[in-house]
A and B are shown apart, each in its own frame.
Chain A
Amino acid sequence: MAKELWKGNEAIAEASVRAGCEAYFGYPITPQTELLEYMSRRMPELGRAFVQAESELAAINMVYGAACTGARAMTSSSSPGISLMQEGLSYIAGSEVPAVLVDVMRVGPGLGNIQPSQGDYNQLVKFGGHGDFKAICLAPSTIQEAIDLTVLAFDLAEKYRTLAYLVTDGALGQMMEPAELPPMRPLAKQRPGWALTGADRRPKNIITSIYLDPEQMEQLNLRLQAKLNVIRQNEVRWKEFMTEDAELLLIAYGTMGRVCYTAMKQARAEGIKVGLLRPITLWPFPDARIAELADQVHGILTVEMSAGQMVEDVKLAVEGRCPVQFYGRMGGIVPLPDEVMKVIHEMNDELITTGPREEMAVA
């Protein structure tokens, strides 16, 4: 298929359709409303389910219902709406039905504003719903990546009977880039055996997340944790650039990944050995690779559109192997390469002054 110019929100919508989304339930909220509007036209065109729900609360519970029948179901929202959905997401997690959520992040806390932000990292990656759980979090940096990761989200959600989130921001949602969509996938003909399809000639299926007996409930939780461990083993994704000889490492995702890529190139042109690691899965986080690189580089700089949320996961992965710095802006201000360069210069100057840290003596 040829490349076409696509707006982020609409590209994600069409990618969902091509990935076999059978049911979309959503609510208008800037800056993702175009996704809902696109689906309102496209889903009925294909005879698939679309409802503009009365709230995000209703929308996520409609997704939950549709998912219980084994249908590929999704919703999209932005930060305040995602907060509303956390209860429903917890129920979906505990019931082990697959579902896809798209968050086009905007500024918070509170009503905030409609500018881009990465302030939902904690509520998405740490699982903002009550209870012990983690959703697969996929963070695209370009519209092409958004398309590809949308398809992956549906596949992973179904494969593991879990939640998969597409983590984007208002900039990605609104921008336009050339991108290629995959061909239309035929819808699945069979519903999975666990699905609610009517107990005709088979024992009934019950989909629930309540088990009053503590031992039973612990078993469910152990099973969920085991599933999450399998996902950790198999589904980590990231991209790295110029890391082979890097002395300073940038870690950033989404829109900040693009900005840091430019900063990295600028730094390299000035002779500063900067590399970039761009996580694609925010959960499972590429901690093993970051730990390896932390042994090699002399400093890490995390750049986010927030007060610093991913930086905590970076610090956990680094475990003190090297200094970790943070740079970020809030309120919807998007850091530009020049600002990142300023911090790189500071870190580099410090490095020149104090020298690289001592290698640990090996006994």
Chain B
Amino acid sequence: MSTQMVREEVVFKRPAPLSETVTHYCPGCTHGIIHRLVAEVLDELGVAGNTIGVAPVGCSVFAYNYFNVDFAEAAHGRATAMATGIKRAQPDKIVFTYQGDGDLAAIGTGETVHVAARGENITVVFVNNAIYGMTGGQMAPTTLPGMVSTSSQNGRDVELQGYPLRMSEMLATLTGSAYVVRRSVHDIANIRKTKKALTTAFKVQMQGLGFSMIEILSTCPTNWGLPAADALKFIEQKMVPYYPLGDYKIMDAVKSLVVH
């Protein structure tokens, strides 16, 4: 019997910017999906070798272990200030931050507003799961009214604890914001849309058009106390109504870059 050589054609594989490292994230956590999307986009745009990432304090504090890209570790909330310093010192590099809701919308609110106000040419990947994951499930600035957390044990009481922040809507009001959108990763269709938004955002930076942010509604099954599949449903049923998906700011100059 003769043997035939069969040529394999690789049609799908791990993108090079994603490390061959097992992540520490919980089962059902959407960080894994988002990391992969960012890696795919950097790969497809051919910019990974020219990119510097800034990791936050939060569950993704070790993001730098999962990307084959130069990375810096920021103090809590300060990633966008650090990114500003990096970009101003090396304007030809692609600079992005990867931040959770505590990092970006609590302790880092000042830095977040001003990086957009300055129209800083960086990209912010904002992972919003409405809770503090790393520290064990406390209330976040994006925790929904009535949502139970370890520091809102009877559910978030808006009388005492105020209402959650809608960061995309807020940053969209700033002239410096070039591309501010909210997406989700709770199902395949939305994962695809998130990837397109990430591609657009990095293109905005490559063209030097200003500040870009993709807010991505994400899960935290562990601290929500939900099984993984139910956590995805929670995004769809509870988070999306409060945080509508959509495009909040697309500067005119950006319109032609949008990946549809």
Instruction: A63 to B88: give the CA distance in the assembly, Å.
Output: 10
> A61 contacts which chain B residues (CB < 8 A)?
74-75, 78, 81-82, 85, 111
**Interface contact B71-A25, CB-CB below 8 Å:** no
Q: Is B234 an interface residue, CB under 8 A from the partner?
A: no
Which residue from chain A places its CB closest to the CB of B90 in the assembled complex?
A69
Within 8 A of B (CB), among A26-66: 49, 51, 53-55, 57-59, 61-66
The bracket for how many chain A residues form the interface is 35 or more
Give the interface segment out of B3-11, B49-57, B137-145, B210-218: B49-57
Which residue from chain B places its CB closest to the CB of A25 in the assembled complex?
B85
**Interface contact A69-B82, CB-CB below 8 Å:** no
> B74 contacts which chain A residues (CB < 8 A)?
61, 64-65, 91
What are the interface flags for B86-99 relative to A under an 8 Å C-beta threshold, 1 for contact and 0 otherwise? 11111001000000
> B86 contacts which chain A residues (CB < 8 A)?
65-66, 68-69, 196
Measured CB to CB, the closest approach of chain B to A63, in angstroms, equals: 6
**Interface contact B48-A88, CB-CB below 8 Å:** no
Select which of A65, A68, A200 is within 8 A of B81 by beta carbon.
A65
**Interface contact B49-A65, CB-CB below 8 Å:** no
Q: Is A22 an interface residue, CB under 8 A from the partner?
A: yes
Q: Is B72 an interface residue, CB under 8 A from the partner?
A: yes
**Interface contact A62-B68, CB-CB below 8 Å:** no
Instruction: A57 to B111: give the CA distance in the assembly, Å.
Output: 9
**Interface contact A66-B85, CB-CB below 8 Å:** yes
**Interface contact B70-A65, CB-CB below 8 Å:** no
Which residue from chain A places its CB closest to the CB of B78 in the assembled complex?
A61
What are the interface flags for B108-130 relative to A under an 8 Å C-beta threshold, 1 for contact and 0 otherwise? 00110110001000000000000
**Interface contact A207-B73, CB-CB below 8 Å:** yes
**Interface contact B114-A62, CB-CB below 8 Å:** no
Instruction: A299 to B52: give the CA distance in the assembly, Å.
Output: 57
What are the interface flags for A58-98 relative to B under an 8 Å C-beta threshold, 1 for contact and 0 otherwise? 11011111111101010000000000000110010001000
The bracket for how many chain B residues form the interface is 35 or more
Q: Is B69 an interface residue, CB under 8 A from the partner?
A: yes
- Known A-B contacts A55-B110, A62-B81; the reply to A196 vs B71 at CB < 8 A is yes
Instruction: A64 to B111: give the CA distance in the assembly, Å.
Output: 14
Which residue from chain B places its CB closest to the CB of A203 in the assembled complex?
B68
**Interface contact B52-A198, CB-CB below 8 Å:** yes
Q: Is A123 an interface residue, CB under 8 A from the partner?
A: no
Select which of A63, A199, A210 is within 8 A of B70 by beta carbon.
A199
Measured CB to CB, the closest approach of chain B to A167, in angstroms, equals: 23
Within 8 A of A (CB), among B43-65: 48-52, 54-55, 61, 64
Instruction: A207 to B68: give the CA distance in the assembly, Å.
Output: 13
**Interface contact B111-A65, CB-CB below 8 Å:** no
Measured CB to CB, the closest approach of chain B to A59, in angstroms, equals: 8
Task: Spell out B's residues near A (CB within 8 Å).
Answer: 48-52, 54-55, 61, 64, 67-75, 78, 81-90, 93, 110-111, 113-114, 118
CB-based closest 4 A-B pairs: A65-B85, A200-B49, A208-B73, A65-B82
27 A–B contacts, CB within 8 A, in A order: A25-B84, A49-B89, A51-B88, A51-B118, A58-B114, A63-B85, A64-B85, A65-B74, A65-B86, A65-B89, A69-B85, A69-B93, A73-B85, A95-B73, A196-B52, A196-B71, A196-B86, A197-B70, A198-B50, A198-B52, A199-B51, A199-B68, A206-B73, A207-B71, A207-B72, A208-B55, A208-B73
